[in-house]
């Protein structure tokens, strides 16, 4: 639910010193805040990555490819029957195949 916003990782903080929490400096529209990245450590975040931020934590990495795909398909709406068919592609059945 809730307010979660996209931000870009600008700098990773060193982990090898007190207080031993993994954080990164994240920027949202020229404003920066230290965000805890422990919840997405498996995705190996690095500077330049975009992440979704909620209550001071990064919850997920944002996929530029998926975002571009979505925008591309929507821009073809009305112009191309193929676009509508492509729009049908994101259901659970499809996911099982990939």
Partner 1 sequence: MKLEQCIELAHGAGGKSSRRLIEQVILAECRNPLLEPLADAAIIEWDKTRYALTTDSYVVSPLAFPGGSIGELAVNGTVNDLAVSGAKPLVILSSWILEAGLSMEVFQREVKAMARAAKAASVIIAGGDTKVVEHGKGDGLYITTTGYGLVEPGVNLGPHRVEVGDKILLSGPIGDHGITVLLARGEIELEATLKTDSRPLWPMIEPMIRLEPSAIKWMRDPTRGGLASVLNELAHDIGFGVMIEEELIPIRQEVRGACEILGLDPLHIASEGQFVAVVDQKKAVDFQKLLNDIPGGEEARIIGVISDKPSGKVVTLSAYGGSRMVDMLVGDPLPRIC
Partner 2 sequence: MQYVDEFRDSRLIKKTIETIQQLADPTVHYRIMEVCGGHTFSIYRFGLHALIPSNVELIHGPGCPVCVLPMGRIDEGLRIAEDPKVILTAFGDMMRVPGQTGSPLVLKAKGRDIRMVYSPLDSLKLAKEHPKKEVVFFAIGFETTAPATALTLLKAQEWGIKNFSVFCNHVLILPAIRAILDSPDLRLDGFIGPGHVSTVIGCRPYAFVAQNYKKPIVISGFEPLDILESILRILRQLKEKKSEVENQYGRVVPWEGNRTALKLLERVFELRSYFEWRGLGFIAQSALKIKKEFSYWDAELRFGTQGITLTDPKAAQCGEVLKGVLKPYQCKLFGRSCNPEHPVGALMVSSEGACAAYFHHVYQKTEL
Size of the site for partner 1 (CB under 8 A): 16
Length of the chain as a residue count: 98
For residue 30, give both structure tokens.
């020229």
- 22 contact, one of partner 2, partner 1, none, CB 5-8 Å limit per kind: none
For 8, the enclosing helix (H) or strand (E) is strand 5-12
| Of residues 29-88, those binding partner 2 (CB under 8 A) | 29, 36, 38-42, 50, 52, 54-57, 59-60, 62-64, 66-71, 74-75, 77-78, 84, 87-88
Contact 62, 45 (CB under 8 A): no
Give Cβ neighbours of residue 46 (< 8 Å, ≥ 6 apart): 9, 12
Query: Does residue number 8 form part of the binding site for partner 1 (CB under 8 A)?
Result: no
List residues bridging with 26 in a β-sheet.
9, 33
Per CB under 8 A, residues contacting partner 2 are 1-6, 19, 21, 29, 36, 38-42, 50, 52, 54-57, 59-60, 62-64, 66-71, 74-75, 77-78, 84, 87-88, 90-93, 95
């Amino acid at each position: 639910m809730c307010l979660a916003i996209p931000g870009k990782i600008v700098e990773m903080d060193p982990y090898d010193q007190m207080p031993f929490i993994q954080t990164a400096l994240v920027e949202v529209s020229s404003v920066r805040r230290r965000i805890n990245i422990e919840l997405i450590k498996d995705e190996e975040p690095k500077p330049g990555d975009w992440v979704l931020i909620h209550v001071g934590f990064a919850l997920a990495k944002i996929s530029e490819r998926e975002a571009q795909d979505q925008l591309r398909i929507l821009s073809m709406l009305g112009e191309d029957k193929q676009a509508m068919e492509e729009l049908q592609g994101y259901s659970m059945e499809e996911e099982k195949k990939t």
